[in-house]
Amino acid sequence: MAPRSVSIFGATGSVGQSTLDLIGRDPERYDVFALTAGRDVEKLAAAAIQHRARLAVVADENCYADLKAALAGTGIEAAAGAAALVDATDLGADWTMASIVGCAGLAPTLAAIRQGRTVALANKEALVSAGSVMMSAVSNSGATLLPVDSEHNAIFQCLASGGIEAVSRITLTASGGPFRTFSREEMARVKPAQALKHPNWSMGRKISIDSATMMNKGLELIEAWHLFPVGLERLSILVHPQSVIHSMVEYRDRSTIAQLGCPDMRVPIASALAWPERMETPCQPLDLVSIGRLDFEAPDEVRFPALRLAREAILAGGSAPAVLNAANEVAVEAFLDGRIGFLDIGRIVEDVLARIDMAPVASIDDVWAIDMSARQLAERLTAELIN
Ligand code: NDP
């Protein structure tokens, strides 16, 4: 069997490294075309050399000389900059992992979709910001979009048993994050280091903070709304602290199909990498006896307003989800830098949504314009909070 060509956008991150871990266990099976990073040249060059990539791209142009030096004599091409990231999709890999964090991943993700092959989507912010543009690019190009987010991958797997027309409800599970039992007063005092400690999953910094505010679940609700068009009223969220059930689909005959597994991102990544087949993984088997019990709670939209804001953004439509995402990216960064408090993240997102003029989204240029103005307003509100 000919090796499958793969490219990984965001290869130095948590999802990217988990993907490379799986690929590295069966190197003859894969031909690595492009690997990309934001700034981490050392990790990118090491991965490119280990996996014998053809091309390594770093988004920050200032890192080009270092990347070129790190790859000297290896035969691996080095490139840098936003345009080079998009151009890397021209290599036309059979399978592309979109795992850049944030809206920074939108252009390469969209370019990979336009190639019309298979795109494994972890970069949820791209879909949240440009959902309608991305989904029409999928249907125009004939690309296969495979969800990698554990919940959406679970739903995708559950849908194989019945089909979307027969669905009565889709339930996204949520761990509730590290502050699931905290009061608002307790949350007001938390520091970045506490918020970065997720109880079940090991993830990048931004998604860890999103999990702590539960904006991650809000973004996932928007993501599910695009990927599984059953209508908002059929999408629900259930807090399940053990993160064993990754999501569920209920059919109109009231059969509920769930996907379970240990909280290890290599499980959903492997499902997308081998799809429509199955592959071996080094992940732990599920041991329900030692887990002992599975708990469930209703989500609390008062302590975690991000859930309400995401639902309202879906209902508002147009630019609202892109505004929500951009404001959240700015606020999360400000929190991680120690410039604002934990609860200020939600306040800034809500303020930006309330103050900005909403607009229709017809093209990717509309998304860039909305993203930029929402970021500017969020930066201004952040600065006002500090002063
Ligand atoms: P990380 O922060 O660990 O990695 C992010 C990746 O994006 C890195 O390769 C980083 O490069 C790169 N990057 C950062 N900024 C830019 C930029 N401006 N331009 C180009 N590349 C950039 O994130 P995760 O792997 O945790 O998450 C990636 C995506 O997957 C997110 O959208 C997240 O929501 C989603 N996801 C993650 C899960 C997880 O378990 N981690 C689970 C489900 C979804 P560098 O290392 O050089 O900074």
Measured in Å, residue 104 CA sits from the centre of ligand 1 at 10
Q: Which two tokens stand for residue 57?
A: 């791209």
**Cα Rg of the chain, angstroms:** 20
Task: Kindly state the average pLDDT of the residues 189-210.
Answer: 94
Residue in 14, 63, 124, 173 to alter for ligand 1 test, most ligand atoms within 8 A of Cβ: 14
Measured in Å, residue 35 CA sits from the centre of ligand 1 at 13
| CA 122 – CA 99 distance, rounded (Å) | 5
Task: Kindly state the average pLDDT of the residues 97-113.
Answer: 98
Q: What is the pLDDT of residue 1?
A: 78
Q: Is the predicted pLDDT of residue 167 greater than 90, yes or no?
A: yes
Structural domains of the chain ordered from first start: 4-147 (3.40.50.720), 150-301 (no CATH), 317-387 (1.10.1740.10)
Q: Which two tokens stand for residue 115?
A: 């190639």
Residue in 7, 58, 99, 210 to alter for ligand 1 test, most ligand atoms within 8 A of Cβ: 99
Task: Kindly state the average pLDDT of the residues 91-97.
Answer: 98
Q: Is the predicted pLDDT of residue 2 greater than 90, yes or no?
A: no
Q: Is the predicted pLDDT of residue 126 greater than 90, yes or no?
A: yes
Q: Is the predicted pLDDT of residue 237 greater than 90, yes or no?
A: yes
Per the prediction, the chain carries an average pLDDT of: 97
Task: Kindly state the average pLDDT of the residues 34-46.
Answer: 98
Q: Is the predicted pLDDT of residue 68 greater than 90, yes or no?
A: yes
Q: Which two tokens stand for residue 193?
A: 């280091």
Q: What is the pLDDT of residue 387?
A: 81
Q: What is the pLDDT of residue 257?
A: 98
Q: What is the pLDDT of residue 197?
A: 94
Q: Smallest Cα–Cα separation from 238: which of 248, 252, 253, 226?
A: 248
Look at ligand 1, atom 17, and give the residue with the nearest C-alpha. Answer: 38
Q: What is the pLDDT of residues 309-361, one digit of tens each?
A: 999 999 999 999 999 999 999 999 999 999 999 999 999 999 999 999 999 99
With a Cβ cut-off of 6 Å, ligand 1 is lined by 10-16, 37-40, 59, 99-101, 104, 122-125, 149, 201, 203-207, 265
Backbone angles phi, psi at 74, to 5 degrees: -95, -15
Which H or E run contains 81? none
Q: What is the pLDDT of residue 365?
A: 97
Q: What is the pLDDT of residue 32?
A: 98
Measured in Å, residue 99 CA sits from the centre of ligand 1 at 5
Q: Is the predicted pLDDT of residue 301 greater than 90, yes or no?
A: yes
Which H or E run contains 31? strand 30-37
Measured in Å, residue 269 CA sits from the centre of ligand 1 at 14
